[in-house]
Every structure is written in structure tokens, then in C-alpha cells.
Amino acid sequence: MTISPRDKNAPRDIDAPAIIAAKPDVTKPNTKKVFIKTYGCQMNVYDSERMADVLAPIGYAPTEEPDHADLVILNTCHIREKAAEKVYSELGRIRQYKEKNKPDMKVAVAGCVAQAEGAEIMSRAPVVDMVLGPQTYHKLPEMIAKVHRGTGDLLETEFDTLEKFDQLPELRQPKGFSSFLTIQEGCDKFCTFCVVPYTRGAEVSRPVAQVVAEARQLAKHGVREITLIGQNVNAYNGVGEDGNQWTLGQLIRHVALIGGIDRIRFTTSHPRDMDDDLIETLGSEPKLMPYLHLPIQAGSNKILSAMNRDHTYDHYKNLIAKIRAARPDIALSGDFIVGFPGETETDFQQTMKCVEEIGYGSSFSFKYSVRPGTPGAGLPRQVPEDIKQDRLVRLQALLYKQQHDFNLSLVGKTLDVLVEGRGRKNGQLFGRSPYLQGTHFDGPESLIGQIVKVKMTDAGRNSLIGDWVE
Ligand code: SAH
Ligand code: SF4
Ligand code: F3S
């Protein structure tokens, strides 16, 4: 791993420089292989890495080849119907392969579908040996032992977020130079369309000391960019080193003191929890990147209220004005749902107006998907599929144009790019700008892992192209 030199005397650093000679080898000789397939959000990406950390000491090495795996874990997402259904089709393929080629392969379903439909998975897909909800990953070794013994409960869906984090092993083997770090998990907001409060449980924040210890560990392994994640990351209220509850702003400023961490991001924020301290931190902390994902979901106050979002469009608009005043170059990102029950064309036009007035650098937009067990599922005036589709097409045309225009506005500018690896073409490198766009440019491989200056020469809707300057 190449780590660029840094100034050891930098006064802001509270740690030793993030340069280590070799990774400590605490794993047993890895005799078995685990293949983990990840669906859904960043938290699942983080959780998959943590499951790999739990499995390493009991002899499982990660593999990218499902065919050779002794253990296959599907880390699933329940957010929309399609996401959940994918799991069952994947399990069908696994069953066929296992029966024909590898009868001793073990299969686990983890993540939010596991939490929501655990017992159903066990009966609907007998190929599955064990089911683990998101708060139980520290129990994986025990579960695997039970599977091999053929006794014991193979369905774990208890909620104990803090116990999980206490018991996960400290060592992390991050893959690259940018890593997720969960600081808060669960959600108390209960938006009427959303399964997350049921699959991840109540909002729980990890203590500051635990977050800092993990961030240092990542830095030691060469990670230079950390994205602090949580379902409602800006509701963070973990216990600080002074015994008080800390805000996200305080935590960010503290993590920024860690030597080796050069970039910090956070996601996902809720408009209700966007406090002044965090907005000021966006304006004043140079390591915090100028990018904010702040979903509004819909522009109509009537729909926002039916969604139980607990904020109006005006509240959101005022927030954005404050944020832009604090950090004028901020790139905004949002989530949108079209076709929530009762959404009329007039309501939808309010979402279009919101997008026009706010202006987004990137976005995620979805057709409302009925989730059994959520209040939205029982609401009258469900919107027909063809109308949802039509609204999504119109909304995405506007959002994608804004995204492309934003990227084009960066052409001619020189931006800092964290080089993550090789690009698609020979001699090309790939990295990320401060605004999170993927950036392609030519340069030597020795730049991988460094933050370099790239002058942007062209822009597509999803990425930037540039020349390496220095
Ligand atoms: N606050 C969360 C949101 C998770 S869900 C976070 O930390 O990311 C991500 C997005 O999926 C939501 O913002 C919403 O736009 C979308 N979504 C959630 N439930 C949905 C549903 N039932 N149908 C369509 N989209 C949905
Ligand atoms: Fe879901 Fe709403 Fe919680 Fe986000 S804030 S996870 S959309 S319930
Ligand atoms: Fe999906 Fe669960 Fe994340 S439902 S979006 S994997 S919190």
C-alpha cells in the first residue's frame, strides 16, 4: 500500500502519523472462503466489511468468487419491494448451484430482509442455514458453530446495537483509502413509507471514544477519507470523552484531529436534525467535504405531512439558504419519492418546483413502493403505476440535467482528487472530487492513495475527466 508522506509536526494531529510497516496478522491461517454479496445502502457495505472482520479470526478469508465459497452471505435490503424480491431469486440460483456442485456450502441471509422476514425466509428457502438481523453480526461464529453441530436456534433478530458494537473485533481490514464508519444506527422518525425503523430498530449512537478508536484504526491502515454514516446521522448524540452527549458537529471536529484522516463526509441527514453547530462546522472545518445529502422526499407540504416527515418545504428551503451561506460551494444531494398515496399532479408539481428552486448536484429518486407493515401501505388513494412512472421520468429528466450542468460547471477548475485506484482504460486513474463525482485522468500508479490536483477538462452526467496537474 502506498501512503503519501505527511507533515509529522502538523499541530492539528492528535495521533501518530498513519504509516505502518505491516498489517498485524491476527487471523488464523485462512482455510475457508466466504463470499458476501451486499445489497442496499452504505450501512450494509460497512456491515459486510465488519462481518468479514468477525469471520477472519475463525479462518474465513473473503472471496470474490461465489462458486468456491464455503459460506455465502447475502446482506440484504428491504427498502423497496424489488430489493427484497432479488434475494429470493438469488437464493434460487444458490440452491441449484449448491445441490449440483457444492453440497457442503453454507448459506446465511443477513441485513434488513433477514430482520423483516426471518421466519418466512427459513420456510420459503430451505437452502438457507441461518438468518441474522443487522444487530447480531457479532454472533456469526456462534451461529456457524450451531449450523455445523446441527443444533440450536438459527434465527437471530434481537436488537442490541450497543452490544454488537462492543463485541465486534477492533481490527478492521479496510479495502481502500476511503471507508465508511457507522456512528449511529436505527431510526425513530417513522416516515410512513419506510421500513428502516422496523429493520434497524431505535436510534442508537456509538460513544465518541469508540468512533475515534475505529477512525484511528482505519487511518493506520491507510484510509484517508472517512464517511461517518447513520440512518439519521445528524441526530448523533453519543457520549463524549467529557461524559456529555456530543453533537455530530463536535464529533466531526474531533475526528478531524486524527492524523492521516484528510477528508470527512457524513450521511444521511434529516432536515429536522440539521442544527446550527453542524452548519457552522460545514463552513469552518476544512477536512469536511463540500457535499451534503439532505433528502426532502417531496415538495408538497400535504404530502410531507402524510409522510410524517415533520418538516415543511419552507423549513427545508430556509435550511438550504443557511447552509449555502455557511458553505457557498456546497454540492447538494437529495432523495425523492414520487407517487406517495394521495399525491396529485399539483402535489407533484411542488416537487418539481422544489428541485428547480433548490438545485441539486446529485440525487436519488424512486417510485413509491408499498411496504407491508408501514402506515403508508394502508393509506387510501394509492397512485397507479403508470402515473408513478410518468412522474419519475419527468422528475429524473430535471434532476439529471441539473447534475450534468453542475458537473459541467466544474470544467476548467482544478480540484483535489483522492486517487482510489486504476481507471477503466490503460494508464488511467480513478478518484473522487470533493463533490464526490468519480474522476478519471491519466497518471502513474504511484499516485494511488494520494490526494492530487486535477484540472477538469470534460464532464458527463456521472463523472468528470481531467488532467493531472500536481
Ligand atoms: N434516512 C435514511 C433513508 C434510508 S432509505 C438514510 O440514512 O439513508 C433511502 C431512501 O429510500 C429514502 O430517503 C427514500 O427516498 C427511499 N425510500 C424509502 N422507503 C421507500 C419506499 N417505500 N418507496 C420508495 N422509496 C423509498
Ligand atoms: Fe426511513 Fe424516514 Fe428514518 Fe430515513 S428518516 S430511515 S426515510 S423513517
Ligand atoms: Fe436497505 Fe436496510 Fe439500508 S432496508 S437501505 S439495507 S437500512
Residue 244 has what pLDDT?
Answer: 97
Q: Is residue 36 domain-shared with residue 151, that is, in the same domain?
A: yes
The arithmetic mean of pLDDT across residues 247-251, rounded, is 98
320 close to 271: Cβ distance less than 8 angstroms: no
Q: Where is 182: in which H helix or E strand?
A: strand 178-182
Bigger pLDDT: 154 vs 239: 239
Given this model, what pLDDT does residue 31 score? 87
**Quick check: 16 pLDDT over 60?**
no
In a domain, 132, yes or no: yes
Inside any domain, residue 186: yes
* pLDDT above 90: residue 130: yes
3 confidence band (pLDDT: 50, 70, 90) = very low
The CATH number of the domain where 62 resides is what? 3.40.50.12160
> Is 284 contained in some domain?
yes
Residues 186 and 284 in one domain: yes
Q: Is residue 190 located within the same domain as residue 310?
A: no
Distance CA 352, CA 363 (A): 13
Q: What is the pLDDT of residue 22?
A: 38
pLDDT above 70 for 317: yes
Based on the fold, state whether residues 89 and 125 are members of the same structural domain: yes
Q: Please report which confidence band the pLDDT of residue 171 belongs to, taking 50, 70 and 90 as the band edges.
A: low
77 is in an annotated binding site: yes
| Assigned domain for 322 exists | yes
Res 223 pLDDT > 90: yes
Ligand 1, residue 230: give the atom nearest the CA. 7
Q: Which domain holds residue 429?
A: 414-468
Atom number of ligand 1 nearest to Cα 194: 19
pLDDT of the residue at 137: 93
**Residue pLDDT, tens place only, 366-411:** 999 999 999 999 999 999 999 999 999 999 999 999 999 999 999 9
Claim to verify: residue 122 and residue 192 sit in the same structural domain? no
DSSP 68: G
Residue 53: pLDDT over 60? yes
Least confident of 5-14, 126-135, 165-174: 5-14
- Ligand 3 atom closest to Cα of 42? 3
How high is the pLDDT of residue 300? 98
The pLDDT value given to residue 29:
64
Mean residue pLDDT across the chain: 91
Where a domain ends, among 379, 407, 435? 407
Cβ of 44 less than 6 Å from ligand 3: yes
Distance 376 CA to ligand 1 centre (A): 13
Q: What is the mean pLDDT of residues 92-111?
A: 94
In this structure, is residue 2 part of a structural domain? no
Closest C-alpha among 106, 96, 36, 98 to residue 70: 106
Least confident range from 164-178, 297-311, 365-379: namely 164-178
The verdict on 180 and 259 lying in the same domain is yes
Instruction: Report the predicted TM-score, pTM, of the whole model to 2 decimal places.
Output: 0.93
* Region 133-141 average pLDDT: 94
Of 289, 324, 346, the residue at which a domain comes to its end is 289
**Residue 51 above 50 pLDDT?**
yes
In a domain? residue 458: yes
Same structural domain, 360 and 389:
yes
179 and 224 housed in the same domain: yes
Whichever domain contains 433, its CATH number is 2.40.50.140
Assess whether the previous peptide bond of 76 is cis (omega < 30° from 0).
no
Q: Structural domain tally of the chain?
A: 4
The Cα–Cα gap between 18 and 164 comes to 27
Which residues' Cβ are closer than 6 Å to ligand 1? 41, 79-80, 193-194, 196, 231-232, 268, 295, 297, 335, 337, 366, 368-369, 371
Whether residue 426 sits in one domain with residue 354: no
Are 351 and 400 in a shared domain?
yes
CA distances to 116, 117, 271 from 120, in Å: 9, 5, 35
Q: How many CA atoms lie within 13 A of 73 on its CB side?
A: 31
Q: What is residue 221's predicted lDDT score, i.e. its pLDDT? A: 92
Percent of the chain with pLDDT over 70: 93
pLDDT bin (cut points 50, 70, 90) of residue 152 is confident
pLDDT above 50: residue 260:
yes
Whole-number pLDDT of residue 30: 67
**CA proximity to 51, closest of 31, 65, 72:** 72
Annotated binding-site residue? 194:
yes
Region 406-433: mean pLDDT is 96
Indicate if ligand 2 lies below 6 Å from the C-beta of 197: yes
Cα 41 to averaged position of ligand 1 atoms, centre (Å): 10
Is the pLDDT at 23 greater than 50? The verdict is no
Nearest CA to 334 among 345, 347, 323?
A: 323
| Residue 154 CA, distance from chain mean position | 27
Stretch among 2-11, 122-131, 149-158, 376-385 having the lowest mean pLDDT: 2-11
* CA-based nearest residue to 201, from 214, 189, 183: 189
**pLDDT value for 161:** 79
Q: Is the pLDDT of residue 1 over 60?
A: no
Which string of DSSP letters, residue by residue, matches 426-445? TTEEEEE-TT--EEEEE--G
Tell me the CATH number at 223.
Answer: 3.30.750.210
Is residue 59 pLDDT above 80, yes or no? Answer: yes
Closest residue CA from atom 5 of ligand 2:
189
Measured from the CB, is residue 375 less than 6 Å from ligand 2? no
pLDDT for 239 beyond 80: yes
Instruction: Say what the pLDDT of residue 42 is.
Output: 96
CA separation for the pair 147, 152 (Å, rounded): 8
Query: The domain spanning residue 393 has which CATH number?
Result: 3.30.750.200
Q: Which residue has the higher pLDDT, 370 or 27?
A: 370
Which residues in 29-77 belong to E strands, given as ranges? Answer: 32-38, 60-62, 71-76
> Is any atom of ligand 3 closer than 6 Å to the C-beta of 195?
yes
198, 92: one domain: no
Q: How far is the CA of 26 from the centre of ligand 1 (A)?
A: 38
Q: Is the same domain home to 401 and 319?
A: yes
Across residues 42-69, what is the average pLDDT? 93
- Residue count of the chain, please give it: 470
C-beta contacts of 312-319 below 8 A and 24+ residues apart: 313/350, 313/354, 315/271, 316/271, 316/354, 316/358, 317/354, 317/357, 317/358, 319/271, 319/274, 319/279, 319/294
Boundary residue ending a domain (407, 422, 455): 407
